[in-house]
Structure 1
Amino acid sequence: MFITMRTVCSLVIFILCTWSYGHSGSANEKIMGRKLCPPMANVPQPVNRVNTSKILEQLRYEMKRINAFHGSPIDGYIIPDTDEHQNEEVADHDKRLKYISGFSGLGGVALVTQTKAIFWTVWMYHQQADEELSCDWQLLVHGESLRLDEWILDEFKPNSRIGADLKLISNGDWEFMYRTLANASINLVPINNNLIDLIWVDNRPNYPAHEAFVWPLEYAGKKWDTKVDDTREKLVAMGFDAMIVTALDEIAWLLNIRGHDIPYGPFLKSYVIISKDQLHLYADLSKLSSDVRKHLRTENCYSAHCVRLHDYDAVWTDLRSFSQVWRKVLVPSATEFNNGASRCIFILISAEKRKQGPSPIMYMMAEKNPVEKIGMRLSHIRDSAAMCNILAKLNEQFNNGHQLTELAVATMVDTYRQAQNYSRGASFKSIVGYGPNGAIPHYTPSTASSLKLDHMSTLVIDSGAHYWDGTTDVTRTVHFGQPSAEQIDAYTRVLMASIDLASFTFPHSLRVNQIDVVARAPLWDTGYDYKHGTSHGIGVFLKVHEPPVNMYYGQKSTDVVLKEGYFISDEPGYYKENHFGVRLETILEVIAKNETMGKFLTFTPITLVPFEPKLINYSMLSPKQIRWLNEYNAKIRLEVGAELLKQADHQLGYGWMMDRTVQVSSSSRSIANSFCFVVLVAQIISVIGQ
């Protein structure tokens, strides 16, 4: 899945102002950069645009009410898209930003004043936000406009009051914003009763009622109490008596349990407090089945290797009282794909005892044990076989004249994956973009936006699944007709970038932001660069975006390095706006490479889905790249071929796979040269004919 570079409630997004915004209330007001804003007579608004005018009025009323919070009314209110755990995806019950704005994507934050409503999003969601937000909203884009604190400084006078819910904002973001605004005598005010909760009364979804369940040792590879002991050893070595665990994937990994509380994430919404001799779990106790309680040894718990259960909300009082007996407490800080503990959690511990730092659990979780490694490999073989069947079926349907749409393809992908052995559902919402929509990296089709497929352009399919023994994430770009020379060139360069990273050997101390340049070089050669990271970590039946890996050369200084046992994505891309897109994503396992001098690492691919030969100009590939591709195709035939042959209806998928894994020879490169020349001549003739 494409790296989000999220702003999830991040109040430190770096944005430059590209246009201004008039005073609200003017009949002739024009919001620059918005589609069909202001509304025009007899011109319908986009079908997926949500009118939230009445809800904004209700929010502004609550902002004026003195009894809604301590002190005077507030002049602005910040609404992030996160929950108490800073999750990338949140339960429907917690989608406060969607309720107030209508925006259904990720990576947004809003600020509402008495006269204006401002919305920030990342560039890959700009088009979606523009379609969904009503004309009440001004839309700003990460990297192209003022950042949130700058906008507030420009807009508000000294002694203004800006409110926010401390549970929904990370401590790091709060401290940055507080210091910045305080320098201008603007007050950042904690709001104890979330204002959206006060007005979102009718038709608010409930939290999922499904029970949590045990993740068996046959997949986990290590007992939960052993993981707890390992964590305690890390904490002692770091000088801490205790730690509050707020990241849901870390809790799931630590206790070998999974849940249903977060969309596309197998997590139980919970907190854990771990000390030298006690372990406390805070959750909805009705979701802890007898199997989970037995697994965690919760009955008569008096030792260091059992779990004391508490109601979820009890953490707000317990953390304050427990910390009185501790000398030093670790509060998780922000890392890639994890914004760290909330401001509310942070202030519960006295200043002299708390310290923020990266969670040691994150690093242990990323370094897979032998059983987890096997599970990841096996789950990816099964998933790759599923993708071969899906792509083969799509190709057959298109050739037989079926009317395919992006939405139909996404539905087919999700339905087929759900039926696979050991499947536990999709790991994220499937991304299926054809032609111009494929040039939007995080586009997901809807009824209103779904395009029909034809033979003229590329189709990008980015999807994944959770299995008992692993989590998958794969992107392939296909073409159902005869691709243009431009499309072939773009695809080939993306393939070259993907191969160069997958075949890279490097010293173990090389940082991930340094490795990123290896993948971008084939695209930089043409003066092109894609606006997202090249790689993210991936969990084992956990998060599809797993810290600490986020490979992007534009990162500020980072000390993150890869280790044997890490699993990461390899996903360069090419996006020609309003025309077509190409992205190829393969999951790689980090392995050791024996060298006579020092410790070196390299990769081996575990995603085994063929690339599209008709989109490859083999003459552009180096001998090393062709050798890698031949070895990759041979591995697909051996491992995925065996998996496909187990299936009763294997003929279609197996034949499709075999056709696309033919070994490439030097003669193939010569033929490719001739083929590309023919394509070029055909295009010239077409242009002359017009």
Structure 2
Amino acid sequence: MQAFTFYVGLCLTLGIAILDSTITVVVAQGTHHGSSVIPLDQRDCSGPNPRLTPTTIQTSLRLADLRKQMEVNRVRAYIIPSGDAHMSEYTAEHDKRREFITGFSGSAGLAVVSIYNAAIWVDGRYYLQVEQQVDCNWQVIRADDIGTLTPFQWIENELLYGYPVGFDPKTMPIQILKDAEEFFSTSPKRLRMQRLQNNLVDIIWRNQPPLPDNRLMVLEQKYAGKSWQEKIKDVRKVMQEKDANTLLISVLDEIAWLFNLRGTDVTYSPVFFSYAILTSSSIRLYLSAFNKTKDDRVFQQHLNVCLSPYEAAPCVEVKTYADFYEDVMLVGTLVRGKIWIGSSANVFIHDVITQEKKLTELSPIVLMKAVKNPIEQRGMKNAHIKDAVALIEFATWLEREVPRAKGNIRRLSEISAATKLETYRRMQDGMKGLSFPTISGFGPNGAVIHYFPTEATNVAITNKNMYLLDSGGQYLDGTTDVTRTFHFGTPTAFHKEAYTRVLMGSIDLARLTFRTGIFGRDIDVVARAPLWASGLGYKHGTGHGIGHYLHVHEGPARIKYGYRPNEAALQPGMFLSDEPGYYEPNSFGVRLETIVMVVEKPTTHKFSNWTFMGFEPITVVPFEPNLINYDMLSYDQIVWLNEYNKLIERTVLRELSPEAQKWLRLRTKQINVENTNKMNRNPFNSATSTNLGMLTLVAVFLFSSIVL
């Protein structure tokens, strides 16, 4: 499958080269502006005297302690994933085990420690960041690069015949275990995966923060759009169709959505530590905050909490968080019929359910949550309007402050700008907090895809380079995520080319029409094509789903090439990001992120029983004319941009201060399209689009055939 995915990607890349032969010249000439010299803000482990950065975490003592525990537990390697027992992307401080042992704070990554060595795998978003944070105890492996070792190949190289590889079954994703066991079963060394009763990092982690148990909040139906009783009914209907008697729910945002509850146990994500077990006749909810719900009348009334286990439904039996693992073992033993385990359940849960009882599929809640109901859709739009007001007021202030600060870091910096933006957001009605830590990166820091400024990395914002700002908020009526890139002086020609090519890809994706059954992976190439055509690109997905006052990253749909299990086709009512980018190492970064909603799209003709769809922009924040080379834009791209600017003015202008209104009008002026070449330079809108479209469809068809 991996080989075929690469083959499809290669076909698509060659297709771009065929359509624009300049790519061959660009690659041959090597226009990349980076250097082979290791920059000062990254570690250098090449010599006898390693050079670390101010943000590096020393891990020698932690690794020594962990290896002692490995010896006690008789394992020769130990795997530390990023997630918690609920497979969360963003975790509570209590669960940041991989960060504790490695020093790397990114949201994704896998660490493996052997008796003598240690390695960490990261994807393309974190290639620069990881080099700034881990010390020389760690071998950094770039997981997105072709030909790199997998964790299991690395372990095989480290261990002798028959040695055990330890892991915590409560924090291990089932897919990693399956992949490991499949690989080791064919390995001549016959290595074996060994479940450990206790998490070894927890044992050595002095002063580990406790598991949070904060009070819960009821999300009113005027925001949720449906009562929890209606949602339970919908889920049970799907369970019946699948002939499942019981559903085990372990993912935090699924539980929060299902019961119309929100919490504060995980920073930036309004979720709470919990599990749930749903049958055709009972509902059980397991809470870390169990003791704090006993005297909470609003909570008790909202869920119609059962006064006894035998009370007539619909009521919810509330139990302690620790009770779940005892009850799930009883379920595995006593329940007859199929037990539905979401594909995100941890290994421990999978272990206690026998194979003949187990139904392992994507939880029915995932798709219900992703396809927003009309009330949720309206709320998401409202949240993005409020968020746009905050961001535009902030950008107006920032543009005024840059020349006044004159490069004085005490007056204006990445950190102070992020703090000021949060202040503007908190002025908005219903704002509950940020949806993730603000990515505020000036110049070279903007090239670190998921950069968060610290006192050690903080720099002044000036008019000499690009400023990348990726931020979002949590509102009662929705979650926001928006990225815009600025330059407050005179950008270089390459700055403008990079920005414009990113913008071209963003517009091409936003104006695309596609049919029923199309996955995000099928259209990802559309956003990358303008960059690929000049030998540029980016190493992250083009789009992710976004929750409704929940996680800022949400499945099961995404826009990223390559097959992934449990990915869902695009459907009306889904909200996703449209965020191509470009990152010049040690120089600058560009990313333009606009949240879009999948909507049905009117077409001249109606073929078969297909529904044709497209994207409606929900983010209403303008792009930067100072960074756009309009000569590169096509007629259709300019038409789209003009319509988008009209939408922004129509939606937010009257909500702004007079100064911000002036700032906005300068960026939403209509562009004259009369003299634009209608046979434009964008391969997706020109005669060459037929060739590229056919190539893409062939690749998609072949890929789908293999998968099916």
TM-score by length of 1: 0.86
Is the Cα–Cα contact under 8 Å of residues 511 and 558 in structure 1 kept in the other structure?
no
1:536 aligns with 2:544: yes
Distance across 2 between alignment mates of 1:343 and 1:274: 20
2:389 alignment counterpart: 385
Higher alpha-carbon deviation: 368-377 or 551-560: 551-560
2:494 alignment counterpart: 486
Task: Give the deviation of 1:191 after TM superposition.
Answer: 0.5
Is the Cα–Cα contact under 8 Å of residues 622 and 648 in structure 2 kept in the other structure?
yes
Task: Give the deviation of 1:220 after TM superposition.
Answer: 0.3
1:245 aligns with 2:245: no
2:706 alignment counterpart: none
1:170 aligns with 2:173: yes
Shift in CA distance, 522/287, structure 1 to aligned 2, threshold 3 Å: farther
Letter of the 1:186 counterpart:
L
1:15 alignment counterpart: none
Task: Give the deviation of 1:388 after TM superposition.
Answer: 0.3
Is the Cα–Cα contact under 8 Å of residues 213 and 272 in structure 2 kept in the other structure?
no
1:78 alignment counterpart: 79
Letter of the 1:634 counterpart:
K
Letter of the 1:183 counterpart:
T
1:328 aligns with 2:338: yes
Letter of the 2:165 counterpart:
I
Task: Give the deviation of 1:652 after TM superposition.
Answer: 2.4
Quick one: which of 591, 595, 602 aligns to 1:587? Answer: 595
2:203 alignment counterpart: 198
Task: Give the deviation of 1:511 after TM superposition.
Answer: 2.3
Q: Secondary structure at the match of 2:244?
A: coil
Quick one: which of 343, 347, 353 aligns to 2:351? Answer: 347
2:695 alignment counterpart: none
Shift in CA distance, 501/100, structure 1 to aligned 2, threshold 3 Å: same
Task: Give the deviation of 1:300 after TM superposition.
Answer: 1.9
- 1:213-292 aligned at under 5 Å gives the runs 213-284=217-288, 285-288=290-293, 289-292=296-299
Q: How many residues align?
A: 619
Distance across 2 between alignment mates of 1:267 and 1:446: 26
- 1:424-503 aligned at under 5 Å gives the runs 424-503=432-511
Backbone CA RMSD of aligned residues: 2.0
Distance across 1 between alignment mates of 2:200 and 2:569: 42
Is the Cα–Cα contact under 8 Å of residues 596 and 616 in structure 2 kept in the other structure?
yes
Listed as ranges, the gaps of 5+ residues in structure 2 are 1-40, 678-708
1:603 aligns with 2:615: yes
Distance across 1 between alignment mates of 2:635 and 2:566: 34
Identity over aligned residues, as a percent?
Answer: 39
Task: Give the deviation of 1:401 after TM superposition.
Answer: 3.1
Distance across 2 between alignment mates of 1:309 and 1:411: 39
Distance across 2 between alignment mates of 1:310 and 1:655: 56
Quick one: which of 272, 295, 298 aligns to 2:302? Answer: 295
Distance across 1 between alignment mates of 2:105 and 2:349: 28
Letter of the 2:287 counterpart:
A
2:644 alignment counterpart: 632
2:377 alignment counterpart: 373
Distance across 1 between alignment mates of 2:673 and 2:55: 51
1:547 aligns with 2:547: no
2:313 alignment counterpart: 304
1:319 alignment counterpart: 328
Q: Secondary structure at the match of 2:615?
A: strand
Distance across 2 between alignment mates of 1:183 and 1:667: 65
Task: Give the deviation of 1:456 after TM superposition.
Answer: 2.4
1:11 alignment counterpart: none
2:513 alignment counterpart: 505
2:680 alignment counterpart: none
Is the Cα–Cα contact under 8 Å of residues 390 and 416 in structure 1 kept in the other structure?
yes
1:47 aligns with 2:54: yes
Is the Cα–Cα contact under 8 Å of residues 160 and 186 in structure 1 kept in the other structure?
yes
Is the Cα–Cα contact under 8 Å of residues 517 and 569 in structure 2 kept in the other structure?
yes
CA deviations over 1:254-300 (Å, ceiling 9, x no partner):
00000111121100111111111111111120243332222111132
Shift in CA distance, 492/604, structure 1 to aligned 2, threshold 3 Å: same
Is the Cα–Cα contact under 8 Å of residues 406 and 450 in structure 1 kept in the other structure?
yes
Is the Cα–Cα contact under 8 Å of residues 379 and 472 in structure 1 kept in the other structure?
yes
Higher alpha-carbon deviation: 523-532 or 312-321: 523-532
Quick one: which of 624, 640, 646 aligns to 1:612? Answer: 624
CA deviations over 1:648-674 (Å, ceiling 9, x no partner):
xx122222111111111137979xxxx
CA deviations over 1:534-590 (Å, ceiling 9, x no partner):
111111101111101121123358763211111111111112222221110001111
Letter of the 2:338 counterpart:
K
Letter of the 1:110 counterpart:
A
Distance across 1 between alignment mates of 2:136 and 2:565: 39
2:164 alignment counterpart: 161
Task: Give the deviation of 1:410 after TM superposition.
Answer: 1.9
Is the Cα–Cα contact under 8 Å of residues 166 and 343 in structure 1 kept in the other structure?
yes
Distance across 1 between alignment mates of 2:561 and 2:572: 21
1:564 aligns with 2:572: yes
Task: Give the deviation of 1:508 after TM superposition.
Answer: 2.2
Distance across 2 between alignment mates of 1:38 and 1:314: 51
1:27 alignment counterpart: none
Task: Give the deviation of 1:481 after TM superposition.
Answer: 0.4
Q: Secondary structure at the match of 2:453?
A: coil
Is the Cα–Cα contact under 8 Å of residues 456 and 482 in structure 1 kept in the other structure?
yes
Distance across 2 between alignment mates of 1:182 and 1:509: 36
1:358 alignment counterpart: 362
Listed as ranges, the gaps of 5+ residues in structure 1 are 1-32, 334-339, 645-649, 671-690
Is the Cα–Cα contact under 8 Å of residues 618 and 668 in structure 1 kept in the other structure?
no
- 1:77-156 aligned at under 5 Å gives the runs 77-144=78-145, 145-156=148-159
Shift in CA distance, 175/461, structure 1 to aligned 2, threshold 3 Å: same
Q: Secondary structure at the match of 1:167?
A: coil
Task: Give the deviation of 1:433 after TM superposition.
Answer: 1.5
Task: Give the deviation of 1:459 after TM superposition.
Answer: 0.8
CA deviations over 1:484-527 (Å, ceiling 9, x no partner):
11111111111111111111122122222112222222222223
Task: Give the deviation of 1:212 after TM superposition.
Answer: 0.9
Is the Cα–Cα contact under 8 Å of residues 38 and 135 in structure 1 kept in the other structure?
no
Task: Give the deviation of 1:40 after TM superposition.
Answer: 6.0
CA deviations over 1:224-279 (Å, ceiling 9, x no partner):
01000000001111121111111111111100000111121100111111111111
Letter of the 1:399 counterpart:
P
Distance across 2 between alignment mates of 1:576 and 1:130: 16
1:19 alignment counterpart: none
Quick one: which of 59, 66, 84 aligns to 2:66? Answer: 59
Shift in CA distance, 406/315, structure 1 to aligned 2, threshold 3 Å: same
Distance across 1 between alignment mates of 2:400 and 2:674: 29
Shift in CA distance, 150/636, structure 1 to aligned 2, threshold 3 Å: same
Is the Cα–Cα contact under 8 Å of residues 403 and 462 in structure 2 kept in the other structure?
no
Distance across 2 between alignment mates of 1:472 and 1:558: 24
Q: Secondary structure at the match of 1:110?
A: strand
Letter of the 1:394 counterpart:
L
Higher alpha-carbon deviation: 182-191 or 241-250: 182-191
CA deviations over 1:58-95 (Å, ceiling 9, x no partner):
11111122xxx5xxx11111111211001111111111
Shift in CA distance, 34/432, structure 1 to aligned 2, threshold 3 Å: closer
Higher alpha-carbon deviation: 460-469 or 241-250: 241-250
Task: Give the deviation of 1:322 after TM superposition.
Answer: 2.4
